[in-house]
Amino acid sequence: MKQTLRLPTDNEFAAIRGNDASFDGRFYYGVASTKIFCRPSCVSRAPKRENVRIFDSTDAAEAAGFRPCKRCQPDKAPAADARLERARALIDSKLAMGEPTPTLPQLAKAAHMGATHLQRRFAAAYGLSPRAYAEAQRVALLKTELRNGSGVTDAIYGAGFGAASRVYEKAGRWLGMTPADYRRGGEGLTLTVAIRRTAMGSTLVAESTRGVAALLFGNTEKAMLAELRDEFPAARTDRDDTAGAAAFAALEAMLAGREPPKGLRLDLRGTPFQIRVWTALQAIPAGETRSYQQIAQSLGAPKASRAVGSACGNNIIGVLVPCHRALRSDGSLGGYRWGLDRKEKLLTGEGVALEPAE
């Protein structure tokens, strides 16, 4: 997608002249006379305003023919901010002791930063606000406790949740099932499973009462069923190869480059950040791609490109959640849960011109 070159706003140029690190990750600037691009915090001599061009990402700057500054290295992930690490460590320590999450003012005091500034910088560094980060960590601990055999009540309070009712209210989103069912590995959950041959080879669709819970590809039925069991180890599976008609129709439409029928429900199960990534992937039009970094930036978390890649790898609803449209910044394929040959086939079928393999 071609980036439109634009001149800086007053605030952006003031940030460049002031080497303001709080704008790092929000934009990059290139200097037309040198064809070099930098972070706003770069301590190089401030350029003339008429020579400055603003970019939303490093990919856009490079696509426009600019090369990264050797001093501020905008194409490299910056070192972690010690102040943010203090805030994160405080959250983690409270979690470990089973105590309530620190308030934003408490975190700001620990980090020696303003509350609003901390909120923005924390989200840029870790992909989540302090509150959402704490919640994700507590949910992860809750899952561990449940899987290790702790009783539901002990696991809830051991993870630092002050009220069991809050966990039950959000269990469908956090766990995909009740805490008790999660503790038993999905026992009590019923998935209707259909396996058919598609243009992608053997394809499995598993549906819960909430929608499509998995769409998997494999060379054998045995391999796909094993992959499904890994995700839902104690769920009941009912085989019915006539089921999943809407999911298979949507898949066929997408493989043919058409928009899928409206109204298909997806049963997304993951962390809050994973679900944000999967939702962002669904917004990428057929025939277009985004780099992991671009997706991270669209979520307001420019330093979370690796986390975006991990979320893509954990997606179990193939094509309908189009993680195949996520590439590395250099245009190479990156990874794909079901093999790079399938990813390449999907992208070329959508008319995407891929970078030749070196």
Sequence-distant (6+) residues with CB within 8 A of 64 are: 3, 5, 30, 53, 55
DSSP 317: B
CA distance 6 to 18: 20
Q: Phi/psi of residue 197, each to 5°?
A: -90, 130
CA distance 331 to 329: 5
User: Radius of gyration (Cα) for the chain, nearest Å?
Assistant: 23
Question: Which DSSP string corresponds to 224-242?
Answer: HHHHHHHHSTT-EEEE-TT
Q: Tokens 């669209």: give the residue.
A: 298
Burial class (CB in 10 A: 0-12, 13-18, 19+), 169: exposed
Question: Checking phi first, is residue 98 left (phi over 0); if not, alpha (psi -120 to 50) or beta?
Answer: left
Our answer to whether residue 323 is catalytic in this structure is yes
Whether the Cβ atoms of residue 126 and residue 305 lie closer than 8 Å to each other: no
| H or E stretch covering 347 | helix 340-349
CA distance 215 to 195: 10
Our answer to whether residue 38 is catalytic in this structure is yes
Question: Which DSSP string corresponds to 184-224?
Answer: TTSTT-EEEEEEEEETTEEEEEEEETTEEEEEEEESSHHHH
Residue of 42, 72, 312, 323 with catalytic role: 323
Q: Tokens 């400055």: give the residue.
A: 52
Measured at the alpha carbon of residue 318, what is the angle toward residues 313 and 320, in degrees to the nearest 5?
125
CA distance 233 to 341: 28
Residue of 38, 69, 72, 312 with catalytic role: 38
Q: Tokens 């003012």: give the residue.
A: 105
Catalytic residue ranges:
38, 323
